[in-house]
Amino acid sequence: MTYAEREFIFSKDYLTIADLQKLLGLSYNDAATMIRNIKRKTDRLGIRGKLHVQDYLDYYGLSAERYKQTEATS
């Protein structure tokens, strides 16, 4: 997966099962299980099969900044 693909996925408001499959190389069932596990802790969307990006980041203690490219300083 390229950085551009990863950046595109995290630029959306939510992640799908297919997004997690691509991001993490998971099977459909494993990606769906991961979404359900995260939703047990927090579920901002309340939509089956979709996970708010912030819920994913919070669950794993990640910063959104790691998925954004920064401009090079002179």
Residue 72 or 61, more confident: 61
- 59 lies in some domain: yes
Instruction: Express each pLDDT in 9-68 by its tens digit.
Output: 999 999 999 999 999 999 999 999 999 999 999 999 999 999 999 999 999 998 877 666
Averaged pLDDT score across all residues of the chain: 88
What is the number of structural domains in the chain?
1
What is the model's pLDDT at position 1? 84
- 73 lies in some domain: no
- 74 lies in some domain: no
Q: Cβ distance 15 to 53 under 8 Å?
A: yes
Burial class (CB in 10 A: 0-12, 13-18, 19+), 52: buried
Say which CATH number the domain at 52 has. 1.10.238
Q: Which domain holds residue 60?
A: 3-67
